[in-house]
Amino acid sequence: MASRLLVLLAALALFALRAFARFRRAVHAISNHPGYRTLLNTLGPIENFFPRIPGVAPGAFHMWKRKHRDFEEHGWDVITYVTAFIGSSTNFYVADADVIKEITTHRSRFPKPIEQYKVLTFFGGNIVASEGEHWKRYRKIAAPAFSERNNKLVWDETRLIMQDLFTNVWGERAEIHVDHAVDITLPIALFVIGVAGFGRRIPWQDEDVVPAGHTMTLKTALHTVSENVFTRLLIPDWLLRAAPTARLARIRDAFAELEQYMREMIRARREHPAREERHDLFSSLLDASKDADVRLQDSELIGNMFIFMLAGHETTAHTLCYMLAMLAMHPEVQDKMYESVRCVTQNGRLPEYEDMRSLSYCEAVLYETLRMFPPVSSIPKSVAEDTAITITNADGERTTVPMPKGSSISIHTPGLHYNPRYWRDPHTFRPERFLAADWPRDAFLPFSAGPRACLGRRFSETESVAAAAMLVLRYRIAVADEPRFAGEGARARFERVTASRPGVTMTPTRVPLVFRRR
């Protein structure tokens, strides 16, 4: 027994020595540039299971929670993360706009690590989870879909959806209390992507009607899938099929239901092609994929439909929710936005798509919301070859940081968006900063940057501005008063209302609002 214990201890000691030697080599390879040195690699979904323990793990949701603080403590806007044991690796956190521009521009040196996007390929290959020739093919098919005609369709349909909400759901009520603003913004985003994305109009009255042949609505299926993609990634197929718990059964059914909805859309469009010209994304995707050189298989068509749905639904819904929260907590900004919309839409008319350029303050409010609440905390890249970057800190000091082949990069969106080198008083909600002609565009990455920037950026912006403008024209928005929070200070209220949790995109926890008729 004693000999076995000695063998075990010797094996553990050898493992520890090898890990330590590997760790030392990794630190030496980056010239010991400042940053995290930890035992565990908790990058990715696993990080949310660990508390912040110095030297062990940086903590759950740490990129969002700490924002630019780590960079300030280490003195540079590029810091390193080297781990010793489980999942040993070297990662670079980047909040330097010049370095980010270099990374996003030079795709051959810093490609997208598509293995990290496996979570988005359940239904098939797609433009987000691809690189190289596959990505070029998907982009050639998808890019024409995001056209000016589609943007106008987004605006017009958003306006109709908001009018339907006001007339047939809220009616003549003077006050509407909403326990969580996503209860409003998720359906808005779903209805917009439904019609502008897939030519499928869903009235508010039918949002909870389950169609024949289904067990849940499209809204429920899509929302359940978007909330559980990481859970689905971690669960083996056999366990999901067995579904020993009600939650797993619901996840399994949601994935099956969503795939069925998408297959039905494809079949209906092929069996009954429209005679009139359509400008929704799905029609453009189908038309483009008729080219024999780039034709999509059904699994690829479904995979890209899923990405359009996920991005057009969850990302926009959460952004709009944060935007309404910020308007509610900053009544002076809300008043200014109301006046700007009212001036553009004189004589009581509704805002048109052609007015969007004149609604610059609305766009500024949206951009400031996206700056403070970027949809994702990290944009991953990888290092394809031994290289180096030269950086300058806030004190004007310069240094060169080696980046060994095989390392990973996290473009640290909160660190960039809260970096005082680019944004004065970064923790203050100030939309006016985006009205200046020289605002720092390279330090604003809610939709990524470079060739891999989000194709649907204008789709999302158009929808958000149209929905917010319609709401502000008709209602005053305020945070709902709740007795349990009586006496709460402004800072505590801000932290409560903007509390977030991780997901496919950053997710607001609860935003209770009241809408009062003007």
Distance of CA 91 to the CA centre of its chain: 21
- 354-358 CB contacts, 8 Å cutoff, 24+ apart: 356/155, 356/462, 356/465, 356/466
**How far separated are the first and last CA of the chain, in Å rounded?**
81
Angle at 97 between CA 92 and CA 102, to 5 degrees: 70
Residues in the chain, overall count: 518
DSSP 8-state assignment for residue 290: T
What DSSP string describes 382-445? E--SSEEEEEE-TTS-EEEEEE-TT-EEEEEHHHHHT-TTTSSSTTS--GGGGGSTT--GGG--
Q: Are 94 and 410 in contact (CB under 8 A)?
A: yes
In this structure, the dihedral spanned by the alpha carbons of residues 494, 497, 499 and 500, taken in order and rounded to 10 degrees, is -130
In angstroms, rounded to a whole number, what is the distance separating the alpha carbons of residues 43 and 86? 11
Q: Is 454 marked as a binding-site residue?
A: yes
Residue 368's SS3 state is: helix
Token pair listed for 426: 């970064």
Annotated binding site for heme: 454
Annotated binding site: 454
